[in-house]
């Protein structure tokens, strides 16, 4: 099958493109940067922006399925940037699929599209979108997800996957930030007893995307629906972060900041970084403070039923794989 993967320069997109290639698919990728590593592995790469409708139309020509992974994933930044990449970019992908009569569109979404600032314990896909969001990222991803699901019809089958906190070897976003702050003594964890989170090891996230490709067709059980994806192992956030630190041969950090203090700090920091002329990203935002002080774990039964998917790599196994990666890159541990 000929497939297009957007955002293959990123963590999920890159792993997905390589897995598809290993399975014998003809893979083309669309991303803004130049990644010669993908080309050297036999993947056809196109350099372009999903917000450029012409580039999208050209990239989708001749493919049978599209994985739309590209997104601006950040807790801070100008509203217009999120609108351009996450909303307009997704609309361009949908239009490109229709223009070339592509029959399958798999969208990488996020559980944050239904986060309302409260605990999410065992929630399923019936959970509604909230009336307000604390950041541009979840708001624009929610708009994009709804656009993708609404596009499902008799010619184009669509599905949205919501993997939560994807981590593992090769991550250049979440884990490096954790390790950098830990090394500088600036990693502070929120002390919220009883809260649990369920993250997603990279292999499990990629398995879900492959399963969606296999299960998706016009009129299938998964068409037009969203699905939560995770490891199925809810645990305290400090336990998972501690495991990541241990894999990198760093000392664990005990939770020490109260939720109230975290929210106060986030509000002040956001105000300061909103002052004209102040650059950079706040050390903590209201969205991050709310995420870190509440539970996030999900009912995965719908994905298991409709996609014939289940998490096959445990958190313990994932941490061992991470430790192996770090052991081969000793310069990262200095």
Catalytic residue chosen out of the listed positions 35, 133, 137, 227: 137
| Number of alpha carbons in the 13 Å side-chain half-sphere of residue 162 | 29
**How far apart (Å, rounded) are the C-alpha atoms in residues 83 and 51?**
10
| Number of alpha carbons in the 13 Å side-chain half-sphere of residue 240 | 24
The answer to whether 35 is a known catalytic residue is: no
CA-based nearest residue to 240, from 322, 170, 131:
322
CA-based nearest residue to 188, from 134, 244, 235, 241:
241
Burial of 276 (0-12, 13-18, 19+ CB in 10 A): exposed
Quickly count: other Cβ atoms within 10 Å of residue 95's Cβ. 15
Would the CA dihedral through 79, 59, 53, 146 be positive or negative? negative
**How far apart (Å, rounded) are the C-alpha atoms in residues 189 and 201?**
21
| Inter-residue contact 247 to 322 (CB < 8 Å) | yes
Q: Which residues are catalytic?
A: 137
């Amino acid at each position: 099958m000929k497939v297009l993967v957007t955002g293959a320069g990123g963590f999920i997109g890159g792993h997905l493109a390589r897995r598809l290639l290993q399975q014998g698919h003809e893979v083309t990728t669309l991303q803004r940067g130049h990644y010669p590593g993908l080309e050297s592995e036999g993947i056809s790469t196109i350099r372009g922006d999903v917000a450029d409708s012409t580039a999208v139309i050209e990239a989708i020509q001749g493919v049978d399925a599209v994985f739309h992974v590209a997104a601006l994933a950040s807790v801070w930044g100008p509203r217009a940037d999120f609108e351009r990449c996450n909303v307009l970019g997704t609309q361009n992908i949908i239009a490109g699929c229709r223009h070339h009569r592509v029959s399958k569109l798999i969208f990488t979404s996020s559980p944050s599209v239904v986060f309302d600032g409260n605990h999410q314990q065992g929630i399923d896909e019936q959970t509604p979108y909230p009336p307000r969001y604390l950041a541009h990222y979840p708001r624009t991803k929610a708009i994009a997800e709804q656009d993708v699901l609404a596009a499902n019809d008799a010619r184009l089958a669509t599905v949205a996957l919501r993997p939560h906190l994807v981590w593992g070897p090769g991550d250049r976003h979440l884990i490096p930030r954790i390790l950098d702050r830990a090394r500088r003594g600036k990693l502070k964890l929120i002390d919220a007893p009883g809260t649990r989170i369920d993250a997603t090891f990279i292999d499990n996230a990629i398995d879900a995307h492959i399963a969606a490709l296999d299960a998706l067709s016009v009129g299938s059980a998964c068409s037009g629906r969203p699905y939560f994806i995770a490891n199925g192992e809810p645990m305290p956030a400090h336990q998972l972060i501690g495991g990541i630190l241990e894999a990198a041969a760093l000392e664990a950090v005990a939770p020490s900041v109260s939720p109230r203090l975290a929210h106060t700090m986030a509000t002040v920091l956001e105000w300061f970084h909103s002052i004209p002329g102040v650059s950079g990203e706040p050390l903590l935002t209201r969205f991050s403070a709310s995420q870190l002080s509440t539970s996030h774990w999900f009912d995965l039964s719908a994905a298991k039923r409709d996609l014939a998917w289940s998490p096959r790599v445990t958190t313990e196994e994932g941490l061992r794989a991470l430790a192996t990666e770090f052991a081969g890159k000793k310069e990262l541990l200095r």
